[in-house]
Structure 1
Amino acid sequence: MLYRKMEKTGDELSVLGFGCMRLPTKGMGIDEERAIRQIRYAVDHGVNYLDTALLYPGSEQLLGRALADGYREKVKLATKLPHMLVTSREDMDRMLDLQLRTLKTDHIDYYLIHSLSSGEGWRKMKNLGVAEFLDTAKADGRIVNAGFSSHCGIEAFKGIVDGYGWDFCQIQYNYLDEMNQAGTEGLMYAASKGLGVVIMEPLRGGYLARDPPAEVQAVWDEADVKRTPAEWGLRWVWNHPEVTVVLSGMNDEQHIEENIRIAGEAHPNSLTEKELEIVGRAAEAYRSLNRVGCTGCRYCMPCPAGVNIPGCFEAYNTESGTLQSKVMYQLRIGGKMDGAEPAYASLCRDCGKCVKVCPQHLPIPEHLSKVAKDYESIGVRLIGSVTEYALRLMRWNTMRKV
């Protein structure tokens, strides 16, 4: 296992972190015996960074049990404060104290404000006193390091980075998302400010680890060294020295073994120029299969009508319209995650401003019309509303426990 240092903390963290959102299931819940065995196997083989969240059903409870028998002392534990459930400064302390009890620990090593999808969520948390909460929790030892996870665009991301004395951050990053969300610019910006950077979705939720389309496989076949799609994806992320930890939502023993092997070999700047060129062409092959050829460059923004154009196309291209991508569209683009104004594709007024500046010369209003038809149907909106209600129910249940 290779390790990299978290600059502000000095911690030597395993380059491979265990993401505990997609634990193995049994029936309607987590397969506890198997999940605990997997987590302990990973720790025994060098993984020392474990990531969970209050919003991951059953995950904190399972991790509290998995880290018994001396395993808590072997790892750095990360969990998250769900800002979308917070309505007061007192909520923050109550939720943190509940998490400490659930995880059966007296401190959280890496504590994040969860999933800031726009600047609105961060502004809300600042107004509620999150800076004072984090300062107090660090001073009394309940948390050691403060960070945030983010799915927002680059400008909002920079504002969050500059808004508090963070120790680290967590962003989505892979070879298809160099210009989406925070992207490469965000990675470099956070690192330049001294923040450690934890990467989520290095394989886009497993999309980049599956058997690739023939067009993509033809590119991989040109490489001198033969690797699985998952190994190409992980090595590309680890090739960036600015990356501290890469999270993998591992729930299969074979995948855990493969990832641990790769994590023992993937040094920064170890990919050759030819290999980087091959990864770039594989990314282009994937994009050529997208329903919209958007690169996420954001030249089209801001939209006069308030449409999050690259965000709409990112969701539209994700897994060719799966239910999960449609739900996330409703939550993020609809502003349900952080109280932001809706930025739906259907808001487009066909003014044509975006078309004039698009480097890809895309008929953006035409594509937005298709997004709205597919992602804003009555059924999808209903699912989004049900998910929003579930978040409120979760808040009620959480506050009931505290």
Structure 2
Amino acid sequence: MKTSALGRLGWPVSFIGLGGIAIQRLDDEAAAAVVVAALATGVNFIDSARGYTDSEAKIGKGIRGIERERFFLATKSMERTAEGLLADIAKSRANLGVDMIDLYQLHNVKDDASLDQVLALGGALEGAEEARRRGWIRAVGITGHVTSVLEKAIATGHFATCQFPYNVIETRVEERLLPACVEQDLGIIVMKPLAGGALGPDWAEQSLRFFLDKPVSVVIPGMDSLEQVVANCRVGQAGHPLTAEETAQVQEALRSLGERFCRRCEYCMPCPHGVNIPVTFLLHGYWTRYNLQDWAQERYGAMAVKADACRECRVCEARCPYDLPIREMLKEAHANLDDPGLKKEN
């Protein structure tokens, strides 16, 4: 497996890593088998999150008994305070069954207010630094979907890695964010290399080959089968970069998809009627592409304002840089995610 240094940390991470979101839908035995197979095939970077239900625990079972030196563990938390982050790190260590986690990331820092909060006195960054002093974690990273916020975050110099969405049809990060990470020698972790599952099996190989000549450290597709492990890892072992002609062909073939999915840039926000549009589409993506219907419906059911609050004012559509038919997409998302059974239970 091709390896690259994780930025200035220097850790030799595998080109293909294991994204931990997909194994939520597997039982413990099947999830552990995927983790073991990935490690046996050359993967040495595993990423999860506190928000991925039982992903950490399943990964913990998969790595049990395997030499700790064979892999790097990364996970992340949405907590914004030092106290909350320390509590989450303790849970992550217990779930994963390790004393030290290699990389702990501040998860989905999505706006200036969130960034200010994590950087403030008593914020999550303070908790991460305390965890590092205690020997609970080795390094601190940040993840997000909004380029401008991530640019501000990495400019502070506090983070060793940056994780963001990037794929063959989402290349805007190449304009500023990617060069900024390279300039500061940050480890670059690519999430959603298959566009959150939108780039299906027919395009998986090309989508991963796209990164072979890019200045990224590790690409973390979700994998929920042994077949996916073998196919994805093959790219990291013997793949060659897409030619310019192949890239153009893939982008042209996927043009229709690119016109109809949310990139979570959040330019549509705030909604005048309180709908969290990106989160609604994120959950709908889990419903349609990740086979996590129950989980997505449960999360959607807990939202204070649902998509049916939309009054079709079109403010969001006027702001969307991708000209998405947001009103229509919200109706579709609500139709799939709204579970009357949850209302009865609540």
Partners of 2:128 and 2:169 lie apart in 1 by 33
Question: SS at 1:4's partner residue?
Answer: strand
Q: Which of 186, 189, 193 is the aligned partner of 1:202?
A: 193
Q: Does 1:229 align with 2:192?
A: no
Q: Give the deviation of 1:314 after TM superposition.
A: 7.1
Structure 1 partner of 2:33: 37
> Matched residues in 2 for 1:10 and 1:104: separation?
25
Q: Secondary structure at the match of 2:74?
A: strand
Q: 1:14 aligns to what?
A: 14
Matches within 5 A, 1:220-369: 228-240=202-214, 242-266=215-239, 270-287=241-258, 290=260, 311=278, 346=310, 349=313, 354=318, 367-369=325-327
Q: CA RMSD in A?
A: 4.4
User: 3-state DSSP class of the match of 1:237?
Assistant: coil
Pick aligned residue for 1:138 from 119, 132, 135: 132
Distance 1:377 1:48 in 2: 40
Matching residue's letter, 1:265? A
**Structure 1: where are the runs of 5+ without partners?**
211-227, 390-402
Cα deviation, residue 50, structure 1: 1.0
Structure 1 9/317 Cα, relative in aligned 2: closer, same or farther at 3 Å? same
The residue number in structure 1 matching 2:64 is: 68
Post-superposition offset of 1:67: 2.0
Answer yes or no: is 1:99 the counterpart of 2:95: no
Distance in 2, Cα, partners of 1:204 & 1:259: 15
Kept after mapping to 1: 8 A contact 2:78/2:108:
yes
Shift in alpha-carbon separation, 1:144–1:5, aligned structure 2, 3 A: same
TM-score of the two chains, using structure 2 as the length reference: 0.78
**Would the alpha carbon gap of residues 71 and 65 (structure 1) be closer, same or farther in structure 2, given more than 3 Å must change?**
farther
Residues 186, 71 of structure 1: alpha-carbon distance in 2 compared, 3 angstrom cutoff: same
Say whether the 8 Å CA contact 1:114–1:149 is kept in structure 2.
Answer: yes
CA distance in 2 between counterparts of 1:277 and 1:41 reads 33
- Give the aligned residue type for 2:87: R
Could you tell me which residue of structure 1 aligns to residue 102 of structure 2? 109
User: Aligned letter for 2:49?
Assistant: A
Structure exhibiting the larger radius of gyration computed from Cα positions: 1
Over 3 Å counting, the alpha-carbon distance change for 1:328 and 1:150 in structure 2 is farther
- Residue by residue over 1:356-392, the C-alpha shift from the partner in whole angstroms, topping out at 9 and shown as x without a partner, is xx888x6x8xx44434544567974989999xx9xxx
Count of residues paired in the alignment: 343
Q: Higher mean Cα deviation, 65-74 or 242-251?
A: 65-74
Alpha-carbon contact 1:198-1:245 (below 8 Å) kept:
yes
SS at 1:205 equivalent: helix
Residues 110 and 144, structure 2, Cα contact 8 Å, conserved in 1: yes
- How far apart, CA to CA, are the structure 1 residues paired with 2:52 and 2:16? 20
Secondary structure in 2 matching 1:57: coil
Structure 2 CA distance for partners of 1:381 and 1:73, relative to 1, 3 Å: same
Q: Distance in 2 between matches of 1:14 and 1:55?
A: 24
Given that 1:202 and 1:248 are in contact with CA atoms closer than 8 Å, whether structure 2 keeps it comes out as yes
Which residues of structure 2 form unaligned runs of 5+?
none
Local SS of the residue matching 2:51: coil
User: Using the alignment, how far apart are the partners of 1:68 and 1:316 within structure 2?
Assistant: 31
> Cα gap change, 1:160/1:70 in structure 2, threshold over 3 Å: closer, same or farther?
same
Residue in 2 that maps onto 1:223:
none
**TM-score between both structures, scaled by the size of structure 1:** 0.69
Measure how far apart 1:146 and its partner are. Answer: 0.6
- Alignment CA distance shift 1:56-1:172 (3 Å): same
Residues 41 and 230, structure 2, Cα contact 8 Å, conserved in 1: no
